[in-house]
Amino acid sequence: MAGCGESKQPAGELITVDVTAGYPKKELILQDFMDVEYIPLETTDEFITMGWLHSIGKELILVRNRNRATDGKIFVFDRNGKGLRVINRSGQGGEEYSFLLGMTLDEDRDEIFVSDRDTRKILVYDLSGKFKRSLDNTKDIPYEMGIYNFDRDNLICQDGTLLSDGHPDRFMIISKQDGSITREIEIPYKEFISSAVLFDGENFRSVMPIRNRMLVPGPDSSWMLMENSSDTVYRLMSDYSMAPLIARTPAIQSMSPGIFLYPSVLTGRYCFMQTVKAEWDWENNTGHTRVDLVYDMEEKALFESVVYNADFTGKQPVSMTSEVTFGNNEIALVHKLEAYELVEAYEKGELKGRLAEIAATLDEESNPVIMLIKYKKK
């Protein structure tokens, strides 16, 4: 990062971030401004999972395995982490998905919505895995990353196209009943800019994407929307009203390589975000330099941030960004903690409280522990 940014900003104005500047550092303790809950996923012969959590409700958790050739399994746990059932509807039939890309849970209607990357359909199942319907109207919409609950009757979808200007409106609201478009959300920009770094070899082409979330839930049923080609991050409310939240400088259209600004967690006091420089060293397999930032709405100032988890005896940083999106008024962020790492930390005396109690029951082959980072209760 070059230069030195002015951290103070006028009260009540749009948050403005110079992505090329340096800011003073601020250390925060996670538990001071967020609630934290740990859920150990039960491990049995049937329930062995990589633990990529995709949706969580008041009573249920949905996780899947994540690899290049998805196995199609949907693991259903209760909120205490007890395994309830494993659903697998992968296949080539009309009631099956061929590549499980994403899923979301509608607990009010006992339905699971599954995004199929290959057919570009959304398939709807009940909680036992029985097929209910297909949202076929979505087949021409290139949403390739995510579908999430927006309200009782609608999903919010994100077009995950990285290398071309696929759909003119990257975000849209669609009906849970038939997939028809309830509303298209336009983020204005001058020219399409991709965040993916390309490598063209003699016989192959490689792509290194930035996997930060562009559709991020906020409190009060709001969403933060980021478009790579735009200089403004917007906040979308449940009544479809939209207002600018963050403005970045210099313009992304003027940068090469680009430094992109992604929102992460929004609380009553803090707005967390991260800059990512779209630059990759293919020989050393390193790059995409990241800088964590936070805007303190009480101090009206920007800082480079580091957040520590108080459930570790030492200074253990916890990321305020995630690859997984949740449409949940309770939960801002989710991380999975690998069992073997927790076992090692416990044996070294590096854990405290509830996390230490959980780690004492694990072995290195146990399923991951899900860490829920939740908004503080008022």
> pLDDT digits over 139-185, tens only?
566 555 578 999 999 999 887 666 555 555 578 899 999 999 899 89
Residue 102: band (very low, low, confident or very high) from pLDDT cuts 50, 70, 90: confident
Q: In the structure, what pLDDT confidence band is assigned to residue 54 with cuts at 50, 70 and 90?
A: confident
Q: Find tokens 């990241």 and name the residue.
A: 290
pLDDT of 69 > 80? The answer is: no
Please state which of the four CATH numbers 2.60.40, 1.10.3470, 1.20.1300, 2.130.10 is assigned to the domain occupying 15-375.
2.130.10
CA distance 82 to 297: 40
> Which comes out higher in pLDDT, residue 10 or 65?
65
Q: What is the pLDDT of residues 236-252, one digit of tens each?
A: 999 999 999 999 999 99
> Whose CA is closest to 96, among 76, 66, 62, 124?
124
Q: What is the pLDDT of residues 192-231, one digit of tens each?
A: 888 888 887 766 678 888 888 889 998 888 999 999 999 9
In angstroms, the CA 288 to CA 371 distance is 25
CA 115 to chain centre: 16
Q: Which of 231, 281, 234 shows the shortest CA–CA distance to 258?
A: 231
The span from the first CA to the last CA of the chain, in angstroms, equals: 37
Residue 74 near residue 96, CB atoms below 8 Å: no
| Average per-residue pLDDT for the chain | 88
Tell me what pLDDT residue 1 has. Answer: 31
Name the residue with tokens 């020219």. 191
DSSP assigned state of 265: E
Query: Which neighbouring-strand residues pair with 106?
Result: 111
Q: What is d(CA 273, CA 320) in angstroms, rounded to the nearest whole number? A: 8
Q: CA–CA separation, 196 vs 208, rounded Å?
A: 6
Mean pLDDT over residues 294-313, rounded? 97
Distance CA 334, CA 320 (A): 9
Calculate the CA dihedral of residues 144, 149, 150, 154 and round it to 10 degrees: 80
Q: Pick the closest to residue 274 from 337, 211, 190 (CA basis).
A: 211
CA distances from 296 to 25, 140, 215, 226 (A): 12, 42, 22, 20
Residues sharing a CB contact under 8 Å with residue 10, sequence separation 6 or more, in sequence order: 300
Tell me: cis bond preceding 257? Omega within 30 of 0 counts: yes
For residue 250, cis peptide bond before it (omega within 30 degrees of 0): yes
Q: Please answer whether residues 271 and 262 qualify as being in contact, where contact means their C-beta atoms are separated by less than 8 angstroms.
A: no
pTM, whole model, 2 decimals? 0.90
Q: What is the percent of the chain where pLDDT is above 70?
A: 89
Residue-range domain boundaries for the chain? 15-375
Q: Which residues contact residue 378 at a Cβ distance below 8 angstroms, ignoring those fewer than 6 apart?
A: none
